[in-house]
Every structure is written in structure tokens, then in C-alpha cells.
Amino acid sequence: MWRCYPSALDPAARPAALRQTASSEVLMPVCASCKEEVDDVVVVKVKGKNKKVCEDCADELREQQEIAEASEEAVRDMMGYKGRW
């Protein structure tokens, strides 16, 4: 027996990736960091979680991560810590 659920008929109930605008155009992906529509999103791991961001935000997040790692290493050297964190 085939059933038709309301979510199959109501376009607003569909996930954002599958929704279409009134002119039948597919929506653009949105950057999780700057909230702007972009052509392509890049997946970057930040604090153990994956984020879909634009290329500019991805570069910025990578730079911040490198700075955090370098500062953490400097603190280890100052403390004379030789084990693992």
C-alpha cells in the first residue's frame, strides 16, 4: 500500500538542500561562518567538528588553528613539559 506523507507534498517541509525557489532554481549553499551564499563549500575540521565554509573562511580558520597550535607549543616549551598533551 502506497502512502503519501504531507512532507512529500509540502516544499517547505523538505530539507534546505532539496528546496527550490519559485522560479525552479536550486538554492546556493551557505557558508557556516559568514552566512553568505557561495558557489562551493569546503569542509574544514574545527575543534573536532566538521564545518562547511567558503574558501576564504576556510583559509582564515586554518590560519587560526596554526596560530593556536604554535602558541600551545610555546607554552609547553616555557613549562619544560616533555610529555604528550
Q: What are the pLDDT digits (tens) for 38-81? A: 999 999 998 889 999 999 999 999 999 999 999 988 988 888 87
> Which structural domain range is residue 51 located in?
26-79
Answer whether residue 4 is part of any domain: no
Count of structural domains within the chain: 1
Answer whether residue 41 is part of any domain: yes
Q: State the average pLDDT over residues 4-26.
A: 57
Dihedral through CA 17, CA 56, CA 42, CA 19, nearest 10? Answer: 0
Q: Answer with the residue of higher pLDDT: 62 or 8.
A: 62
pTM assigned to the model: 0.60
Answer whether residue 70 is part of any domain: yes
SS3 44: strand
How far separated are the first and last CA of the chain, in Å rounded? Answer: 58
Q: Mention every residue, 6+ apart, whose C-beta is less than 8 A from residue 30.
A: 36, 37, 38
Answer whether residue 36 is part of any domain: yes
Q: Is the pLDDT of residue 20 over 70?
A: no
Residue 28: pLDDT band with limits 50, 70, 90: confident
Q: Is the pLDDT of residue 3 over 90?
A: no
